Amino acid sequence: MIVFILVSTSISIAVIDRLLYPLWKKLTARTLTPLQRIGVGHVATVLSMVVSALVELKRLKMVNAHHLQNQTNSSIVVPMSVLWLVPQLVIAGIGEAFHFPGNVAFYYQEFPPLLKSTSTALVALLISIAFYLSTAVVGIVRRVTLWLPDNINYGRMDNVYWVLSLVGVLNFGCYLVCAWLYKYQDVEDLVDDDDDDDDDGFRSYE
């Protein structure tokens, strides 16, 4: 199912770069800043969690409707197509199409020239941290709640998605504050390659 995210991200990047950005610039005479692109990615991520919660809620209702909650049967089959997962995966892919290129553009634009190559590696670092955090969240949920038993037909995975949606909203609110306070700077103009350079190759700047 992960292929739907990859395909959605690839198609979305092409559509965004070739259609959406030029159209936005033509209508507003402005371009989307990297921070605005990241913000759109945040919104799409939260929306994908909301859709995930709604789909899981529908699945649980179908389990109850067909009287499939039988504790003596550990391999209950729910009469629901796996394609119900596609919308949330597509939305997540669209979010990545905004989020990750926006991050790369932001780091590459704002970091000093000597750190530009290093800055692009931060995206991969953020992804790896996110995987570790997601594992930790799942572990905490399994310890303090009954939402994630071995058989999800007896659990409430929809509640997990709702919690993640709430965390995403709070994270987006924090991001908005940080993005609003942030002042773009052209660090290339502050680079000094003459004899008065600092030890680390560029002078300090605000």
**pTM of this structure:** 0.82
pLDDT value for 73: 54
Residue ranges covered by each domain of the chain: 2-190
For 168-204, the pLDDT digits (tens) are 999 999 999 999 999 887 554 444 444 444 444 433 3
pLDDT value for 186: 59
Intra-chain end-to-end CA distance of the chain, in Å: 46
What CATH number labels 2-190?
1.20.1250.20
pLDDT value for 118: 81
pLDDT value for 142: 92
pLDDT value for 74: 52
Stretches in the chain below the pLDDT threshold 70: 67-78, 186-206
CA 96 to chain centre: 6
pLDDT value for 120: 76
- DSSP one-letter string for 121-190: THHHHHHHHHHHHHHHHHHHHHHH-SSS-SSGGGS-HHHHHHHHHHHHHHHHHHHHHHHHH-----GGGG
Is there a contact between 167 and 175 (Cβ–Cβ < 8 Å)? no
pLDDT value for 203: 39
Output DSSP code: residue 84: G
Is there a contact between 171 and 45 (Cβ–Cβ < 8 Å)? no
For 94-104, the pLDDT digits (tens) are 999 999 999 98
